[in-house]
């Protein structure tokens, strides 16, 4: 089962767009939903009104489940909806009830967050399995959302779980970030064991990078800020590489970092 939630857990709707892409690309069937009653504050997640062929319809916030046929041997039960406002434990129990009904053996939660990261470098990915971060240096402590709670409850119920989070540049605003969706899909492909690479999203990702380049070129303050982010990013990547090569190289990195800090005003 692959779960993505709108709201605080999904900067630029990068995770939601993963599920939307899968639903549009593969044969998909909506197989159920979690009732809106009791889970949502309608002043925070307001219902929407639309008119179809002269008839008014009210669309209430709710979670939908889709059976997506990736291949004859691989099905994904996708969970898509707004993060609930109330009764998280009960909500997660209902989610896992759907997982049990469809013989799910692994749960994957997707999320994205704003961060101080440059658009001109690979977007950082944080991944965990069964609640344990792949990179111990990226262990998270702080406020959490419904994906973390669902992941923890699934582990307690005996499911194998993966959590995949991507960081997106905060300075580019909340417009969709196709590159983040592409990166989440690539990571999900490794978990599922099937190539889900979205060729049609590659062009949109390139356009996103180009828009970022234009914004930086036209704003001197932003250009300086991004240059600092790039430097910090490169330093961290260099540290990761050097740390695995031995003590002399680590000492050299420390000396370079100290020299850099001495040059700061």
Longest dimension (CA), the chain: 74
Task: Answer for the pair 86, 92: CB distance below 8 angstroms, yes or no.
Answer: no
Residue 92: which domain range? 2-198
28-57 residue pLDDT tens: 999 999 976 789 888 888 888 988 888 998
243 CB neighbour count, 10 Å cutoff = 13
- Does 14 share its domain with 102? yes
pLDDT of the residue at 17: 96
- Does 45 share its domain with 110? yes
**Rounded Cα–Cα distance for residues 128 and 142 (Å):** 16
Q: Is residue 213 part of a domain?
A: no
pLDDT of the residue at 133: 80
- Does 25 share its domain with 111? yes
DSSP of the chain, one letter per residue? Answer: -EEEEESTTBGGGHHHHHHHHHHHHSEEEEEEEE-STTT--TTTS--EEEEETTEEEEEPP-EEEEEEEEETTEEEEEEEEEPPSS-HHHHHHHHHHHHHHTT--EEEEEEEEEES--TTSPPPEEEEETTEESSGGG---S---HHHHHHHHHHHTT-EEEEEEEEEEGGG-SS--HHHHHHHHHHHHHHHTS----HHHHHHHHHHHHHHHHHHHT-HHHHHHHHHHHHHHHHHHHHHHHHTT-HHHHHHHHHHHHHHHHH--
CA 167 centroid distance within chain: 8
- Does 173 share its domain with 225? no
Q: How many domains does the chain have?
A: 2
Q: In the numeric block, which tokens belong to residue 265?
A: 């005003």
Name which residue leads in pLDDT, 27 or 200. 27
- Does 27 share its domain with 81? yes
Q: In the numeric block, which tokens belong to residue 46?
A: 């307001």
96-140 residue pLDDT tens: 999 999 999 999 999 999 999 999 999 999 999 998 887 756 667
pLDDT of the residue at 186: 95
pLDDT of the residue at 228: 95
pLDDT of the residue at 143: 86
- Does 158 share its domain with 65? yes
pLDDT of the residue at 65: 97
Q: Is residue 210 part of a domain?
A: no
- Does 129 share its domain with 30? yes
First and final CA of the chain: distance in angstroms?
A: 51
pLDDT of the residue at 52: 84
Name which residue leads in pLDDT, 163 or 260. 163
**Rounded Cα–Cα distance for residues 217 and 214 (Å):** 5
pLDDT of the residue at 247: 57
**Rounded Cα–Cα distance for residues 98 and 66 (Å):** 11
Average pLDDT of the chain, as a whole number: 89
184-212 residue pLDDT tens: 999 999 999 999 977 889 899 999 999 99
**Percent of the chain at pLDDT above 70?**
89
- Does 108 share its domain with 26? yes
Look at residues 100, 98, 103 and name the one whose alpha carbon lies nearest to residue 75.
Answer: 103
**Sign (positive/negative) of CA torsion 169, 175, 180, 182?**
negative
Q: What is the CATH number of the domain that holds 106?
A: 3.40.50.10900
**Percent of the chain at pLDDT above 90?**
70
User: pLDDT at residue 218 above 90?
Assistant: yes
- Residue 244 pLDDT level (bands cut at 50, 70, 90): low
- Does 141 share its domain with 61? yes
- Does 6 share its domain with 75? yes
């Amino acid at each position: 089962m692959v779960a993505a939630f709108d709201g605080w857990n999904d900067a630029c709707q990068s995770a939601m767009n993963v599920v939307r892409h899968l639903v549009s690309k593969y044969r998909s069937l909506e197989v159920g939903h979690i009732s809106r009653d009791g889970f949502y504050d309608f002043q925070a997640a307001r219902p929407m009104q639309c008119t179809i062929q002269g008839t008014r319809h009210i669309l209430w916030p709710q979670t939908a489940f889709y059976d997506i046929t990736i291949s004859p041997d691989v099905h994904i039960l996708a969970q898509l909806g707004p993060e609930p406002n109330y009764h998280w434990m009960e909500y997660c129990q209902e989610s896992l009830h759907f997982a049990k009904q469809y013989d799910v053996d692994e749960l994957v939660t997707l999320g994205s967050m704003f961060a101080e990261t440059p658009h001109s470098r690979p977007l950082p990915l944080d991944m965990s399995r069964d609640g344990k971060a792949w990179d111990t240096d990226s262990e998270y402590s702080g406020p959490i959302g419904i994906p973390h709670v669902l992941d923890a409850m699934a582990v307690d119920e005996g499911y194998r779980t993966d959590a995949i989070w991507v960081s997106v540049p905060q300075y580019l605003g909340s417009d969709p970030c196709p590159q983040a969706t592409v990166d989440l899909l690539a990571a999900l492909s490794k978990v599922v064991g099937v190539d889900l690479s979205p060729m049609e999203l590659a062009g949109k990702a390139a356009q996103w990078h180009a828009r970022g380049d234009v914004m930086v070129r036209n704003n001197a303050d932003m250009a300086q800020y991004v240059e600092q982010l790039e430097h910090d990013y490169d330093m961290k990547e260099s540290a990761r590489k050097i740390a695995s090569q031995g003590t002399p190289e680590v000492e050299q990195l420390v000396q370079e970092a100290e020299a850099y800090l001495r040059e700061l005003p």
